[in-house]
C-alpha cells in the first residue's frame, strides 16, 4: 500500500490496455480475436449488443485498486453499473476467477476466444452481469444498490475494505444517494471500511448527469454534507489515482473524472452502448474499428503461444 514505482505504473497501464482491448473484442468480434490478419466483415458479430462507454473507467479503477490493495486480504471491489459487464468479464477472466466456475474460460488463447465470441451470444454470456458471473449478488442492470450492498458486507467485519464504483447516473437513484447516509451508522469500531468512488463521466446513457453539471464546489459541498472528504482523481493516469489513494483523509469519497468512451472512436452521448453501428457492412466503420482495436497493441500484451504477457 506504499508509493508505487515506475514498474507498477507500467503494469497498471498494460492491464488497462489489455482489458479495454478485451471489452472491444467481446462487443464486436466473432473471429480474428488477436487481429492476426486484417479485419473483415466476416469477423464482426451480426448483432451488436452491449456497453462500451463506462468500461474504460471500470478497468482503470480496478487496475489501480488491485495494485494498491494487493497485500490486503480483506479488500473487495464492488461494481455498480451492471451494464459495464464486458469490463467485469475481462477482469474476471484475467484474474482466473471465471475459469474457476467455467472451465472453458482458460487464461490462454482458447479461453480468450471463448469469452469474446460468447459475449452477448445465443446460449453464451448475457450482455449484463448475471448470476453466471462470479461474485454477482444483484441480478441484472438495475442501478443503485452497490453502496448499500457494500455497507451490508462491512457491517461487523472490521477486516474488510470495500471500494465501490458508482456511476454518476446511478448516484441519481434514490437508493444510491440515500445509501451515503449509511456512513453515519458504520463509523463505530467493529465495522469495515467503505471507499465510494463516483465515476463522473458526465452522462447516463446519452443524457447529461446532474452531478456532471454541478460545479466542483457544489459537488464537493454535497459530498461533505454526507460526512465524506471528497478526493478528486482527474483523468485516467495511474500516477494520479495512486496519489489520491495515498492521501490520508477521514472517510474519503473519490471522484474519478473520465470522459465517457475514452479510448474509443467517439465520446460522451455516443459512447454508452455500441459506438460503431455498422462495422459489418460499412468499410469506413470497419477500418475505424480496426484502428481502434490496433491502438491497444495486443501483441505486446498477449500471444497465441504464451497467453497473457503482463
Ligand X SMILES: Cc1ncc(C[n+]2csc(CCOP(=O)(O)OP(=O)(O)O)c2C)c(N)n1
The single residue among 144, 264, 275, 279 that binds ligand X, judged by CB under 6 A, is 144
The single residue among 141, 152, 227, 307 that binds ligand X, judged by CB under 6 A, is 141
208 makes contact with ligand X (CB under 6 A): no
86 makes contact with ligand X (CB under 6 A): no
Residues 175, 144: contact at Cβ < 8 Å? yes
The single residue among 209, 244, 245, 293 that binds ligand X, judged by CB under 6 A, is 209
CB of 177 to ligand X, least distance (A): 12
Rg (alpha carbons) of the chain, rounded to whole number: 19
Span near ligand X by CB under 6 A; candidates 27-35, 198-206, 225-233, 293-301? 198-206
The single residue among 26, 30, 32, 54 that binds ligand X, judged by CB under 6 A, is 54
Specify the length of the chain in residues: 310
Identify which of residues 113 and 170 has a Cβ nearer to ligand X in the complex. Answer: 170
Span near ligand X by CB under 6 A; candidates 3-11, 169-177, 218-226, 239-247? 169-177
How many CA atoms does the CB half-sphere of 100 hold within 13 Å? 8
CB of 163 to ligand X, least distance (A): 16
196 makes contact with ligand X (CB under 6 A): no
260 makes contact with ligand X (CB under 6 A): yes
53 makes contact with ligand X (CB under 6 A): yes
The single residue among 12, 34, 61, 143 that binds ligand X, judged by CB under 6 A, is 143
Give which of 35, 139, 25, 142 is closest to 86, Cα–Cα. Answer: 25
Q: How far apart are CA 292 and CA 145, in angstroms?
A: 33
The single residue among 204, 257, 267, 280 that binds ligand X, judged by CB under 6 A, is 204
201 makes contact with ligand X (CB under 6 A): yes
Beta-ladder partners of 199: 167, 256
Interface residues with ligand X (CB under 6 A)? 53-54, 81, 83, 141-144, 167-170, 173, 199, 201, 203-205, 209, 260, 272
Amino acid at each position: 500500500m506504499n508509493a508505487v514505482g515506475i514498474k507498477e505504473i507500467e503494469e497498471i497501464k498494460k492491464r488497462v490496455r489489455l482489458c479495454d482491448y478485451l471489452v472491444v473484442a467481446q462487443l464486436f468480434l466473432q473471429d480474428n480475436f488477436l487481429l492476426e490478419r486484417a479485419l473483415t466483415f466476416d469477423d464482426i458479430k451480426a448483432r451488436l449488443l452491449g456497453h462500451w462507454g463506462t468500461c474504460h473507467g471500470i478497468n482503470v479503477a480496478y487496475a489501480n485498486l488491485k495494485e494498491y490493495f494487493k497485500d490486503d486480504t480483506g479488500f473487495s471491489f464492488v461494481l455498480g453499473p451492471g451494464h459495464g459487464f464486458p469490463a467485469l468479464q475481462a477482469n474476471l477472466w484475467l484474474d482466473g476467477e471465471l475459469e474457476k466456475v467455467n472451465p472453458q474460460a482458460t487464461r490462454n488463447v482458447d479461453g480468450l476466444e471463448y469469452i469474446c465470441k460468447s459475449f452477448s451470444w445465443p446460449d453464451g454470456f448475457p450482455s449484463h452481469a448475471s448470476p453466471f458471473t462470479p461474485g454477482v449478488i444483484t441480478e441484472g442492470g438495475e442501478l443503485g444498490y452497490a453502496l448499500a450492498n457494500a455497507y451490508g458486507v462491512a457491517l461487523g467485519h472490521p477486516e474488510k475494505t470495500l471500494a465501490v464504483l458508482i456511476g454518476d447516473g446511478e448516484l441519481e437513484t434514490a437508493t444510491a444517494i440515500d445509501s451515503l447516509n449509511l456512513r453515519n451508522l458504520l463509523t463505530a469500531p467493529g465495522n469495515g471500511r467503505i471507499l465510494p468512488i463516483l465515476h463522473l463521466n458526465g452522462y447516463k446513457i446519452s443524457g447529461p448527469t446532474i452531478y456532471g453539471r454541478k460545479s466542483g464546489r457544489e459537488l464537493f459541498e454535497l459530498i461533505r454534507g454526507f460526512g465524506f472528504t471528497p478526493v478528486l482523481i482527474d483523468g485516467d493516469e495511474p500516477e494520479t489515482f495512486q496519489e489520491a489513494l495515498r492521501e490520508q483523509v477521514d472517510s474519503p469519497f473519490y471522484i474519478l473524472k473520465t470522459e465517457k468512451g475514452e479510448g474509443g472512436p467517439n465520446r460522451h452521448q455516443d459512447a454508452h452502448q455500441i459506438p460503431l453501428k455498422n462495422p459489418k457492412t460499412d468499410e469506413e466503420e470497419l477500418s475505424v474499428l480496426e484502428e481502434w482495436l490496433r491502438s491497444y497493441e495486443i501483441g505486446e500484451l498477449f500471444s497465441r503461444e504464451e497467453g497473457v504477457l503482463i
